[in-house]
């Protein structure tokens, strides 16, 4: 094979996958993740003044609950609840329609097994990922500012 033919072959080998990916991206329909009808709040958190002190000088603090309320007419199963993007729990017990469940914040763990401690970590984000009876999955997420939930724009 001549050097020119080799260059053309290599360029074709590089271009074909890129062209196929762009063609599939243009051809395939948009996919949207389902949205849960949910309300997330927190109870038993310390005041904002608690977090103004240096973390190692803060007193021990027990308590703090994440409250997940199912506002829909469907039960949710296979729950994955995440806080502060790194701590999560999995719960196999369903949340019934129009009911709420309390989750102790110290039950949440990160990948290394470290538990969420209200003494050191201020709650800033929560996300619920659940399966609906229609067998699809849906999510709901919100930010927290000073212990109060704030809706995320575009969600």
Over residues 74-127, the pLDDT tens digits come to 999 999 999 999 999 999 899 999 999 999 999 999 999 999 998 888 999 999
- Considering the domain architecture, whether residues 27 and 45 belong to the same structural domain is answered as no
- Considering the domain architecture, whether residues 2 and 64 belong to the same structural domain is answered as no
Number of domains in the chain: 2
Residue 45: predicted pLDDT: 87
CB 106 within 8 A of CB 115: yes
- Considering the domain architecture, whether residues 57 and 106 belong to the same structural domain is answered as yes
∠ CA 8-13-15 to the nearest 5 degrees?
Answer: 90
Residue-wise pLDDT tens digits, 125-140: 999 999 998 888 899 9
The reported pTM is 0.74
- Considering the domain architecture, whether residues 43 and 116 belong to the same structural domain is answered as yes
- Considering the domain architecture, whether residues 22 and 82 belong to the same structural domain is answered as no
Asked if residue 155 has pLDDT above 80, the reply is no
Provide the residue range defining the domain that includes 10. Answer: 1-31
- Considering the domain architecture, whether residues 80 and 135 belong to the same structural domain is answered as yes
């Amino acid at each position: 094979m001549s050097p020119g033919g080799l260059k053309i072959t290599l360029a074709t080998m590089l271009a074909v996958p890129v062209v196929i990916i762009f063609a599939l991206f243009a051809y395939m329909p948009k996919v949207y993740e389902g949205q849960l009808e949910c309300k997330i709040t927190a109870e038993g958190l310390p005041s904002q003044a608690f977090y103004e002190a240096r973390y190692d000088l803060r007193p021990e603090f027990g308590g703090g609950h994440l409250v997940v309320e199912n506002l829909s007419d469907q039960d949710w199963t296979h729950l994955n609840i995440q806080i502060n993007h790194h701590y999560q729990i999995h719960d196999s017990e369903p949340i019934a329609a129009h009911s709420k469940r309390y989750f102790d914040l110290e039950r949440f763990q990160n990948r290394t097994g470290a538990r969420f401690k209200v003494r050191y970590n201020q709650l800033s984000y929560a996300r619920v990922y659940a399966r609906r009876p229609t067998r699809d999955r849906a999510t709901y997420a919100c930010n927290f500012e000073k212990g109060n939930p704030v809706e995320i724009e575009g969600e």
